[in-house]
Structure 1
Amino acid sequence: MLEKGVAIGAILTLVVGMTQFIFKLRYCEVDDVVDNVIGTIIGVKLSVYLWKGIAVVYKIKKVGLFDFSGQIRVNSILYNCGKDMAEKYDLHHWDNSHFKNFIIVVFCVLKNSVYLVSEEDNYVATFQTRKVGEMFRFEKLACLPEMSGKGIGMFCINTIEKMALKMSCKKVCMEVYAPSKHALDFYLHRGYKVCGNTKTLKYSEIRMEKVL
């Protein structure tokens, strides 16, 4: 059935690609079509995005309290992302040991909805969400370093914003580690605005939000 779903996705991608060519569009999102068609057929939530002419199928999985395999996957993504930021940007706020990371992940599962994003059979990204009053918060959005620049971050942001709307939240918010200029720029380019500052025991963070 998965092959059938992917085949339908390929047809949809071709149609969108033709539209993109005709109207000279750079990027088209076909997530809503796939959610309604392929998701119904094969019984899982699939999202298809056309990014620079390449069709990519992502699957979202929620990590439960007793899903130790999923928690290990989240830990691995955060660990590798933390090491990459430490080496490339000299940012050490996520540069933790596997053990410390795993403990953090377990506590996060207790208070947040934690998700894994996979491409085919490979887990490539993670993020966490929580509704606080009328606000929809997210945190720890990370993808594997080797997958950076392939549109996964945008996919996660789009997914988070759709989750917010489905929960009747008109505003999405999060914090960015203050020295992380590349992360700040990423969110600014996606419509998020700086709304203040906050401090943890060790770090200073920039509060950002977006009105949907």
Structure 2
Amino acid sequence: MEIQLQQLVPIPLKEKFSQRPSNIWNTGIAFRAGDWIKIVAPSGTGKTTLMNILYKVRHDYEGSVKWDNRDLKSITGDDLAKLRQQNVSVIFQDLRLFENLTARENIELNRVLQKPFYEAATIDDMAGLLGISHILEQRAGVCSYGEQQRIAIIRALVQPFEWLIMDEPFSHLDNANTHKAADLIATECKKRKAGFVLTDLDEDSLFPYTHVYSL
């Protein structure tokens, strides 16, 4: 599955971005199946906006986004649900956990969206790898932000995907936990031959990126 961006620019930021160079905005670019893409940009340049456009949370843009030559704006209803359940998984910057559900319940919601990709025990295995086994039965709302970030990472990994969209997924993790999470993500992407698009403030060497772009 290929992602194609053509002359994409968010309408609220159009004037701001019209005069500045970018590898992404106001250009033509394609992310090939299996690519590991890093997008580096300072705050306020549209990283979260781009991620929300790719996942069709935002619609206020000019240009086009295509998933396998199909314009994203034409993908609606059951087709959009299928795309999100089978082809694309996401780690939002604001996480979007259900605070009154436990960590396990938040993850389980994604695991059982369709025919489960993994057995329920995989939640415990991944939680052990990321050091959050002890909070699985706690309400997500009482967990620290770093713990919530790891819950969101596992939630994204227990469902099927060809592309993983990640908006600053390690922003509240220390170096050791960042590397553990990155290793788990790399393992899962290699297993599925999946691609990802990851945004962050700075460059890093966490993954062998296929391409690194400036926003």
By the TM > 0.5 criterion, same fold? no
**TM-score normalized by structure 2?**
0.36
Greater strand content: 1
Specify which structure has the bigger relative contact order, considering alpha-carbon pairs within 8 angstroms and separated by 6 or more residues: 2
- Based on CA coordinates, which of the two structures has the bigger radius of gyration? 1
TM-score by length of 1: 0.37
